[in-house]
Amino acid sequence: MTAPYPASLFIHPTALKQMNRMPHGLRVKCDKAIAHFERDRSHPGLQFKQLKSSPHYSIRIDQDYRGILQRTKGETFLLIAVSARQSVYDNLPEDVATDVNRVTGEFEVIPLDDVEKVAAAEPRADAAIAGTQVPPPLFDGFTDKELVDLGVAPVLMPSVREIRTETGLFRLVDVIPQHSANVLIELATGTSIDDVYEKITAPRVTTDVDVTDIDSAVERTIGTAVRSDDPAVKAMLEGDFEAWRLFLHPSQRALVESDHRGPVKVSGGPGTGKTVVALHRAARLARAAEPDDRILLTSYSANLAADLEDKLRGILPRELAGRVEVANVDKITRRIAFAGLRPAPQIADTQQQRDHWQTVLDAAGETEFDVPFCIDEWQHVVSAQMINAQHEYESAPRIGRIRRMSRAQRARYWQLLTAFKKRLQDEGQWTFEQVQLRAALSEEMRRMMEPARYQHVIVDEAQDLTAAHWRLLRALVEPGANDLFAVGDPHQRIFAQPVTLSSLGINVKGRSRRLEISYRSTRQILATATSVMAGSTVDDLDGGIDDLTRYRAIVSGTDPRFVATDSTDTELDAIVAQIKEWDHVDRTAIAVCAPYTHQAKRLAAQLSAAGIPTERLGKTPPTEPDAIHVATMARLKGLEYRCIVICGVNADQFPRGFATELADADPTAYQAAMQRERALLFVAATRARDALTFVWHGEPTEFLRSRLREGQRYRASRKGHPSSATGSRMDSPGDVCHGEP
Ligand SMILES: Nc1ncnc2c1ncn2[C@@H]1O[C@H](COP(=O)(O)OP(=O)(O)OP(=O)(O)O)[C@@H](O)[C@H]1O
């Protein structure tokens, strides 16, 4: 028996994309052949050999397919393509082109056949049916030289010129080298040549590229290729592939790989890949960490943390996963606040807190302050500033509150608050604000004597963390390089009050970044969601203003639907009809949500009774393999679905009662609560990828009005337009359908 010849195999990004499009059975065969090759490339079943007239090698995948390899140095190879056996004779198959990119200096592989097929499927001006219009080519406004200077592979040029539709563009970017894809997406979404150069091309420029020096180009490419044992490759070969695991946008990659001397804040609209960046950054830091280093990856809620943990396992080898603790921020908060307290205190729920306040107000004969005011003041003024003593409260700013509080009023409120806390204590209860405060203060105390528990902390959904959370996180991580990395979207803030990170000891000056391309929702869904936020001003977590207009969606689709009904019964009929219309969609990719918990509960039962399998979303990840998800709007935070019904958005239910009841108590607190309600609808709407339907009975919520008015204007402007006679009832933005969709 001869000794085995072990070898290392890297997979070229183009080959990865190609494998991702293969049928599952063939991918499994590729996986097996790769594993054999790495163990022993001389294994007879592989038929490993050099092609006669080329420097390339081939291995057998099955009787019909061969893998094409490029040797780099020693026993390291790069898999560049999987081709049909009959096309692999003595040379590289004719349908595969290789080239050195003159901007990046990388070795590129171009599947010419696939690229030409995409171009051929585009509508052609010379084949247009009389009377129909063929859209102009998408890249007509750019010369070949401009595209090539930005780094688009010259061999792609004839096909790029044929692309006229978004579908064609997205099919093209799926098969071409990543740098060319990134440039074309940016240009097609309206970014100027100069900006594309700055954002996409300049960071990838390699000086002194010699396009004839294949060896150096292959060496460079090995740096960006993935190893065959990468967990993300395994996930893809096993069929659970999401493009982000392997193909980050350059702006995302820069955030993952850069080193910083202190905390970093990344903002970005819905679906811009903030979570993806947080995950990859955690994985990257784990790879670079010392064995004893601890990394915390945290998010707002338990189900989001569970989802993060699951995804992290998909990109990080198991032996490194132990370096990263994934937990929701309140779990950590409780753990620290309750350390040594046995039994752990009980948390008072909203109703219990209201009852305690009512008792306190009644006992004091209080007539000026009511329960909503007292709760709001406690949560958003006292707790938000971590005020612990009366003298601090007396001089504290009441940011955003119109109602002025005299010294005497403040003193009275403090007395009431003291009585409220006493009641809680007597009942053995805490509010969550108290738990957070205790956790932050005790960790800050501990840090005076001991080193920090973590070397790196990465935060997702940063917009919903409170001041106390931030103080806790600051104390949990050793100050220094790459200490804190927070991603969030202030427009999606639905729980906390705005904070200013610098006032909490987290200085992100010069280290604030943005992500702008939205990968999730269609343009139409994003536009509708954005209209919900119309007229509101939103902070950027650090004293500035965040701006929604800079986010761009890359896919186009159909307009959201608006379905008006006249009762809860007809509303249910409309929801059932909508779900049935989506019967081609995997059930777990559909969600139905409503403002209140009791509505979500009732809906789940009613839909099940109507023969639609459902699962209610809770704190743990869903388990049913074939059920649509039913949840409150808030529970959908951070998740994504192909199709969503948002129901119960009638004016008398949404915004929810506890927000509207603040109107009399404090107009500014009311505005802040209304802003959170708007954001809740924005969050729910932006969970949808392809299709979104709003259903209500009676009058629609005021937050949809601007969109519905726009629909009326659109219809008015189309009156008399030839196509309006044949258009469906649902073909204009904001078109309202009555009854079933
Ligand atoms: N580079 C990428 N290539 C392909 N898909 C991507 C890329 N980056 C992100 N995505 C996809 O976009 C979607 C949104 O990503 P992600 O959840 O990270 O966004 P987010 O900014 O955290 O969203 P949100 O704030 O709305 O919860 C996901 O389906 C993800 O797979």
Give every CB contact of residue 476 below 8 A, 6+ residues apart in sequence.
296, 332, 443, 452, 453, 454, 457
Cα 725 to ligand 1 centroid, rounded to whole Å: 39
Which atom in ligand 1 lies closest to the alpha carbon of residue 461? 25
Which residue has the CA at smallest separation from atom 12 of ligand 1?
519
**Are the C-beta atoms of 78 and 47 separated by less than 8 Å?**
no
Residue 657 assigned to a binding site:
no
- For residues 351 and 40, give the distance between their C-alpha atoms in angstroms, rounded to a whole number: 67
User: How high is the pLDDT of residue 724?
Assistant: 35
If you measure from the C-alpha of residue 707 to the centroid of ligand 1, how many angstroms do you get, rounded to a whole number?
25
| 419-427 contacts, C-beta under 8 A, 24 or more apart | 419/360, 419/363, 419/364, 420/356, 420/357, 420/360, 420/374, 420/378, 423/356, 423/359, 423/360, 424/348, 424/356, 427/346, 427/348, 427/352, 427/356
Residue whose structure tokens are 């994504």: 640
Distance of CA 179 to the CA centre of its chain: 22
**Dist CA 274 CA 296 (whole Å):** 16
Q: Which of 244, 279, 517, 538 to mutate for ligand 1's pocket (most ligand atoms within 8 Å of CB)?
A: 244
pLDDT at 730: 34
Given a contact cutoff of 8 angstroms between Cβ atoms, the answer to whether 270 and 521 are in contact is yes
Q: Which of 32, 25, 56 is nearest to 46 (CA)?
A: 32
Ligand 1 closest atom vs CA 460:
22
Most ligand 1 atoms within 8 A of CB, residue of 246, 247, 256, 276 to mutate: 276
CA distance 687 to 129: 39
- Token pair recorded at residue 42: 């001389």
The DSSP 8-state label assigned to residue 19 in this structure reads H
Q: How many CA atoms lie within 13 A of 548 on its CB side?
A: 22
Atom of ligand 1 lying closest to residue 276 CA: 18
HEC letters along 109-133? EEEHHHHHHHHHCCCCHHHCCCCCC
CB 690, CB 560: distance < 8 Å: no
What residue's CA is closest to ligand 1, atom 15?
273
- Residues in the chain predicted with pLDDT less than 70, given as ranges, are 1-2, 127-132, 224, 239-244, 399-403, 659, 662-665, 711-741
Q: Which atom of ligand 1 is nearest to the CA of 492?
A: 25
Q: Quote the pLDDT of residue 732.
A: 42
Q: Which pair of structure tokens corresponds to residue 728? A: 């469906």
Ligand 1 pocket test target in 275, 460, 526 with most atoms within 8 Å of CB: 275
- Beta strand 96-100 with 107-111 is antiparallel
- Structure-block tokens of residue 422: 């006493």
**Closest of 439, 205, 241, 417 to residue 336, by C-alpha:** 439
Q: Using CB atoms within 10 Å of the CB of residue 175, give its burial: 0 to 12 exposed, 13 to 18 middle, 19+ buried.
A: buried
Q: Which residues contact 639 (CB under 8 A, 6 or more apart)?
A: 303, 304, 307, 591, 687
> Given this model, what pLDDT does residue 722 score?
38
**Ligand 1 centroid to residue 35 C-alpha, Å:** 31
Taking CA atoms only, the protein residue closest to ligand 1 atom 16 is 273
Phi and psi angles of residue 119, each rounded to the nearest 5 degrees, phi first: -60, -40
DSSP state of 384: T
**Which residue out of 242, 300, 310, 519 has the highest number of ligand 1 atoms within 8 Å of its CB and is therefore the one to mutate?**
519
Alpha helices in 314-406 (DSSP H): 318-321, 329-337, 350-364, 371-377, 390-394
Question: Would you say 98 is a known binding-site residue?
Answer: no
Cβ pair 607, 592 in contact under 8 A: yes
The CA–CA distances, whole Å, from 220 to 108, 109, 150, 212 equal 11, 14, 19, 14
Q: What is the three-class DSSP state of 474?
A: helix
Atom of ligand 1 nearest to the CA of 488: 25
Give, in order, the Cα–Cα distances in Å from 147 to each of 151, 156, 198, 554, 713.
Answer: 7, 10, 14, 19, 40
The complex's ipTM works out to 0.98
**67 annotated ligand-binding residue:** no
Would you mind telling me the total number of residues written for the chain in this entry? 741
In angstroms, what is the span from residue 271 Cα to ligand 1's centroid?
A: 5
Annotation-wise, does 274 bind a ligand?
Answer: yes
Cα gap 572→647, rounded to integer Å: 9
Q: Kindly give, in sequence order, each residue whose CB lies less than 8 Å from that of residue 391, ignoring residues fewer than 6 positions away.
A: none
CA-closest residue to ligand 1 atom 23: 271
SS3 label, residue 454 = strand
Q: How far is 728 from 741, CA to CA, in rounded Å?
A: 11
Question: Which residues surround ligand 1 with Cβ inside 6 Å?
Answer: 242-244, 247-249, 252, 268, 270-276, 489, 492, 519-520, 638, 640, 686
**Contact predicate 304/326, CB 8 Å:** no
Look at residue 505 in the predicted model and tell me its pLDDT: 86
CA of 639 to the centre of ligand 1 (A): 10
611 is in an annotated binding site: no
Which residue's CA lies nearest to atom 18 of ligand 1?
273
* Residue 275 marked as a ligand binder: yes
617 CA → ligand 1 middle, Å: 21
Provide CB contacts within 8 A for 451, sequence distance 6+. Answer: 478
Q: Which residues, including other chains, have CB under 8 Å from residue 720's CB and lie 6 or more apart?
A: none
On whether 509 is known to bind a ligand per the annotation, the reply is no
Give distance in angstroms: CA of 253 to centre of ligand 1. 13
- Strands (DSSP E) contained in 536-599 are 538-539, 545-546, 552-555, 561-565, 590-594
Closest approach atom of ligand 1 to CA 279: 18
| Ligand 1 atom 11 nearest Cα | 519
Q: Could you tell me the end-to-end alpha-carbon distance of the chain, in angstroms, rounded to an integer? A: 70
Chain-centroid distance, C-alpha 546: 17
Atom in ligand 1 nearest the alpha carbon of residue 248: 1
The closest residue, in CA terms, to atom 8 on ligand 1 is: 273
pTM given for the model:
0.79
